[in-house]
Homo-oligomer: A and B are copies of this chain.
Amino acid sequence: MRRKELGPDKHVTIKDVAEAAGVSLATASRVLSGRGYASESTRERVNNAIRELNFRPNEMARMLTSQHTDSIGLVLKNLVDPYYGHLANGVLDRVHQLGYHVIVCATDENEQLEREHIEMLMRQRAAGIIAVPTGSNQESWQELINMGVKTVFIDRQVSGLGDVDTIQVDNVRGAHKAMSYLISLGHSRIGIINGPVYSQQYADRLKGYLDALTEAGIKPDQELQENLSSKSEDSTQAINRLLSLPKRPTALFMTNSSIANSAIFTLREYHLQIPDDISLIIFDDAPLAQINNPPITVVAQPMAAIGHLAMEQLDRILKQSEQQIQQPVQRIIISPELIIRSSCSSPKIKR
């Protein structure tokens, strides 16, 4: 009387298969997994039974004995932002090819939420996790790692955590590429509207900006630099200041897409022609950049590729730990790519 009366027929188990094939449980399991001896004839009988009974092994039971799952946790801010969309998609591609499956968690950059997700993934005994961490919850992450959950971070790190495999975009290099391009076009008064520099990311992009200028023998002008003071600050004001400068910059470097967004809208009010009156370049390939008229030159972070890399790396770690090999932690740094469109030209001769 323990059988739930409701619902479709009780699931078919390997025991049913074994009975149907007239072999023992052990034998059925052997042909199912392909490991161990089994004569051709048995193999066939069992496989027939499997097919006829429509048997699907219960992964839960399987994991319980084998003590490892095929679950990968993917923790990121959300899925709406195409930045994360591409990342997630990249991960998904590989996940499937490599035989895992993903549990996706959106944190919305909320620490509490992130903690709950980490907790859940621990209970699910996820084999590994790929995350764009919020930066806090150091304790939870540490526990997770102690539990043996292999982890790969993307783009960000969690301080005080001991080394963790990480895949990062080279922000300095990316900003440098953008700037070199602008400089090669003849620009020297290049404005930058940057995110908050307390974030490593933006500090790096600023560094790239400064380095490129200096290397080209141009003295960076403090007047042309705007660093927002928080992630949520509206950049309109900053843009207005730059555009109202007596000697307006001939080019503008916007270090993220939300800045670019307000910039574009603000620019329209000034009725400036792009690229004739001002050249534009964005760090990050937002939809905006492709759609805008004219399309905007960007430094693109290859998010899908990063997703691929992350999953491949995770897989490697997982395989290794299975064989008791302990590889040193890696930090993979990949370089963003300059996509030249139509928003930059040589600066017009000063009137």
Residues of A near any B CB (own CB < 8 A): 4-8, 11, 54, 56-61, 63-64, 67, 69, 74, 78-82, 85-86, 88-89, 92-93, 96, 101-106, 113, 116-117, 119-120, 122-125, 143, 146-148, 261, 264, 268, 287-288, 291-293, 321, 324
Contact = CB atoms under 8 A, between A and B. Distances in A.
Contacts of A291: 261, 264, 287-288, 291-292
| Identical copies of this chain, number | 2
11 contacts: A6-B321, A8-B147, A11-B125, A56-B123, A58-B64, A60-B63, A78-B85, A80-B82, A101-B120, A102-B103, A103-B103
Contact of A11 (B59, B60, B124, B147): B147
Nearest to A124: B59
Contacts of A293: 268, 293
A324 B5 contact: yes
Contacts of A79: 79, 85-86, 88-89, 92
A125 B11 CA distance: 10
State the 9 A-B residue pairs at the shortest beta-carbon distance, nearest first: A287-B287, A8-B148, A6-B324, A104-B104, A79-B88, A59-B123, A79-B85, A80-B85, A92-B106
Given A78-B92, A88-B104, A103-B104, 17 more contacts: A4-B67, A7-B148, A7-B321, A56-B119, A59-B123, A61-B64, A79-B85, A80-B82, A81-B85, A96-B106, A101-B103, A101-B120, A101-B124, A102-B103, A104-B104, A264-B291, A287-B287
B86 A113 contact: no
Contacts of A11: 125, 147
A267 to B, nearest CB: 10
Contact of A85 (B58, B82, B125): B82
A32 to B, nearest CB: 12
A122 B101 CA distance: 12
Nearest to A72: B103
A92 B104 contact: yes
Contacts of A117: 96
Give the interface centre of A74, A120, A324 by most chain B CB atoms within 10 Å.
A120
Contacts of A143: 54
Contacts of A5: 324
A270 to B, nearest CB: 13
Contact of A80 (B89, B106, B119, B292): B89
